[in-house]
Structure 1
Amino acid sequence: MTIQEPKPPRANFVSQDTILDLKGLKCPLPVLKTRKALSRVESGTRMIVQTTDPMAFLDIPHFCNEDGHTLESSEKDGDNGRFTIIKA
């Protein structure tokens, strides 16, 4: 296995959001996996969490509030939820 060092950003570099697809998982897994994923990224990183768990609309905002992250947006489209979180 080879590990590649990250390349330095160029002047026209556009950062990409981290997308976490948690569709099909039930409470409490979306919050637990979101917490774990956020622990692996730098402060200020924007993460998009996709879920189908209806409890996520209560759990993820509560989690962000408790851990100091910013819930930038939450959207619901049928059974699908999409949360944009900025890590504290």
Structure 2
Amino acid sequence: MSAEYDIAETLDVKGASCPMPVVKTKGATDDLAAGDVLEVVATDSGSMSDLDGWAAGTASVELLDQEAGDDVYKHYVRKTE
């Protein structure tokens, strides 16, 4: 099942391990307009908890959803301000 969001940009961080998925996601969200949704595609299973924790502590983003597939993890982050 795939999340249904109006994706503004997709960030491919496959092959990157902690902390790079979070670092690259932060950089990508800095370039988005408020309300835009970023899809992050990762292969690091730790990205599930890392991105969740980062978004929870960051006022300018909201983690909408996360999906775990066959060695691929998708995260949907909305820029809120």
Q: TM over 0.5, yes or no?
A: yes
Q: Aligned equivalents of 2:62 and 2:47: distance in 1?
A: 15
Cα distance per residue 1:28-59 (max 9 Å; x no partner): 00000000111111111100000001110110
Choose the corresponding residue for 1:43, options 31, 34, 40: 34
Q: Report the 3-state secondary structure (helix = DSSP H, G, I; strand = E; otherwise coil) of the residue aligned with 2:33.
A: coil
Show structure 2 runs of 5+ residues with no match: 1-5
Q: Report the 3-state secondary structure (helix = DSSP H, G, I; strand = E; otherwise coil) of the residue aligned with 1:26.
A: coil
Matches within 5 A, 1:1-88: 16-68=7-59, 69-88=61-80
Q: What stretches of structure 1 move > 3 A for 4+ residues in a row? A: none
Aligned AA (1:21):
D
Show structure 1 runs of 5+ residues with no match: 1-14
**Cα shift at 1:16:** 4.7
Q: Report the 3-state secondary structure (helix = DSSP H, G, I; strand = E; otherwise coil) of the residue aligned with 2:57.
A: helix
Q: Report the 3-state secondary structure (helix = DSSP H, G, I; strand = E; otherwise coil) of the residue aligned with 1:38.
A: helix
Q: Aligned equivalents of 1:44 and 1:16: distance in 2?
A: 10
